[in-house]
């Protein structure tokens, strides 16, 4: 898939734990497919590109169009140098404003991160995600059709 290749190249120098970063992107894309949203696989592969690489918004829009770029922008932290809690506080309203697709994408990302941390026995990351969970859920849980994903996330955090 073109989005996977683009994102893998953009993240080529980065790691996800001790694995290539594309490992995380693959899992986010797999979750989108597993939960019946194959139309969001492209955005799943690209979801960290604007935040974590040198790729610009214009470059992404040229390659993947405005709809995908806007969705990726919605889940992108605007100031990666700000403390994590502040980044989340600023990003959650953007995700909500962008709608259900952005919430779904962020939930796929969080579920991928939490399940990877649990599988690897990374107690530090799990503790961080547990500490953030109430604010994450308060901000993004609503009348959206992702109850199964929320249940899996909460099970992985337990």
Which are the catalytic amino acids?
A: 51-52
Indicate the pairing of strand 15-16 with strand 19-20. antiparallel
What is the spatial distance between Cα 131 and Cα 133, in angstroms, rounded to a whole number?
Answer: 6
**Residues 6 or more apart in contact with residue 71 via CB below 8 angstroms:** 40, 43, 98, 101, 102, 105
Terminal CA-to-CA distance of the chain, rounded, Å?
35
What is the spatial distance between Cα 85 and Cα 135, in angstroms, rounded to a whole number?
Answer: 9
């Amino acid at each position: 898939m073109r989005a996977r290749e683009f994102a893998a190249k953009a993240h080529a120098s980065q790691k996800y734990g001790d694995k290539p970063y594309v490992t995380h992107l693959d899992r986010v894309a797999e979750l989108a497919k597993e939960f019946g949203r194959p139309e969001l696989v492209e955005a799943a592969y690209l979801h960290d590109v604007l935040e974590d690489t040198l790729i610009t918004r214009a470059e992404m829009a040229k390659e993947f169009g405005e709809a995908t770029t806007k969705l990726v922008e919605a889940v992108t932290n605007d100031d990666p140098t700000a403390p994590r809690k502040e980044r989340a506080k600023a990003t959650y309203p953007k995700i909500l404003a962008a709608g259900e697709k952005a919430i779904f994408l962020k939930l796929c990302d969080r579920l991928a991160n939490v399940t990877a941390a649990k599988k690897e026995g990374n107690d530090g990351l799990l503790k961080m995600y547990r500490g953030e969970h109430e604010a994450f859920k308060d901000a993004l849980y609503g009348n959206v059709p992702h109850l199964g994903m929320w249940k899996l996330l909460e099970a992985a955090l337990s």
